[in-house]
Structure 1
Amino acid sequence: MADKPMLDDTEDVALDFGAEDELDRQRRFRHPVAVFFHLAFRVASILVYLLCGWFVDSFITSFVLIVILLSMDFWTVKNISGRLLVGLRWWNYVDEDGKSNWVYESRKGKLKGLTTAAESRIFWLSLVVCQVIWLVFFFGTLFTLKFKWFMVVIVGSLLNGANLYGYIRCKMGSRKKMTGVATNFLGAQVWRSMLATATASAAGKE
């Protein structure tokens, strides 16, 4: 008995593996350890500031612990999490003439794909939210006249604010340069127009 030929009712379907990989890349965490420590020190410093009065009677002990956590957070964000989570880095060096130079770097090209959207959101939200929290603490110490905590919130605002400012400069540096060029160009055009108007007016009076 001869075998009956099988009917071929299938059709070719194109699979876009690149789109799936890109979607997966945007969702997952590529650097979970860096994300953890990026959040751990800053959250711990805020919690210690809020709760230290319940567990520790010594202001000096609380002050030292909070400053240590803030310093660890500053170093981690500046040297590790910023580079891994958003591909940005800022640093300072002193040249041979003794002049201090600030460098703001941004990862570009194919290397930029090493970061994910989820990690980027966590990085920027934590920087902005924590800075707002420390500013609230700053005004809170003023309104409640708790001046002994004033130096603590100043340190928190300055260290977190320094990282926020540095990474904004890294992110917007090239755009800022273009804005400066455009501003200078428009200023020159306005100045020339004013000179032309003044010259024409002087010539008309003569």
Structure 2
Amino acid sequence: MQRQDSQDAPLFGEDEDHIRLRKSKISAILVYLLCDILSTGFIACMVTIILLLSCDFWTVKNVSGRLLVGLRWWNQVDDDGKSHWVFESWKQTHSMNTASHAESRIFWLGLIVCPVFWVMFVFSTIFSLKIKWLAVVIMGLVLQWANLYGYVRCKVGGKSNLRNMAKNYLGVQIFKQAMKKSERP
């Protein structure tokens, strides 16, 4: 779905340092890993981690995605009370405002790697029998997965089926390989 002019949201902080946005991605993970060393209070650690996760979720969803890759997603409730998910990507002409190719790759790498860490934390929490931490790691997994899912839907198109996209990609790759082999003498 292309960006709709009636729903343009003003971009802010385009001249701000993108490094600050990337640092927020790892803060909750570091606090989770170092919590036993830094503090003995479970409640204080839990609240700190959930606040950091929430700040990271909001920053990635509302700021980083727009600035670094030109994508955004949100939920909209219409006049009838029905909920609709909206997934947008900017036209190529708007991508001039987005960050460099390297920053875009860092954004996608962080978006993919962080849910993997939280999945590992879920399993390590279960296997180490630290069940009190299970709610925290599941919250981390859910928030990171929601951003990943939202941005993948924005990238491939809000209404397209991810399975069809994967089939088309594999078909194109097989076709390219066959063309390369047929071009060789």
Regarding TM over 0.5, the answer is yes
Preserved CA contact (<8 Å) 1:45 1:66: yes
1:111 alignment partner in structure 2: 94
2:133 alignment partner in structure 1: 149
1:120 alignment partner in structure 2: 104
Number of equivalent positions: 152
Structure 2: distance between partners of 1:61 and 1:89? 32
Aligned-CA RMSD value: 2.2
TM-score scaled to structure 1, two decimals? 0.68
SS in structure 2 at match of 1:76: helix
Structure 2: distance between partners of 1:174 and 1:153? 28
Preserved CA contact (<8 Å) 1:45 1:69: yes
Preserved CA contact (<8 Å) 1:31 1:84: no
Preserved CA contact (<8 Å) 2:118 2:140: yes
Q: Give the drift of 1:55.
A: 1.4
SS in structure 2 at match of 1:176: coil
Q: How does 1:28-177 map to 2 (within 5 A)?
A: 33=17, 35-115=18-98, 116-173=100-157, 176=160
Q: Percent identity?
A: 53
SS in structure 2 at match of 1:90: strand
- Kindly provide the amino acid, as one letter, of the partner of residue 92 in structure 1: N
Structure 2: distance between partners of 1:141 and 1:177? 34
Preserved CA contact (<8 Å) 1:137 1:153: yes
SS in structure 2 at match of 1:124: helix
Preserved CA contact (<8 Å) 2:53 2:140: yes
Change (3 A) 1:155 1:174: closer
Runs of 4 or more off by more than 6 Å in structure 1?
none
Q: Deviations over 1:125-170 (max 9, x none)?
A: 0111111101100111111111010001000000011000000000
Q: Give the drift of 1:37.
A: 3.1
Query: Which consecutive residues of structure 2, in runs of 5 or more, have no partner in the other structure?
Result: 1-13, 169-185
Preserved CA contact (<8 Å) 2:88 2:158: no
Preserved CA contact (<8 Å) 1:37 1:76: no
1:3 alignment partner in structure 2: none
Q: Deviations over 1:35-80 (max 9, x none)?
A: 3233222211101000011111100000000000000000000100
Q: Deviations over 1:81-108 (max 9, x none)?
A: 0000000000111111100110000011
Q: How does 1:10-21 map to 2 (within 5 A)?
A: none
TM-score scaled to structure 2, two decimals? 0.76
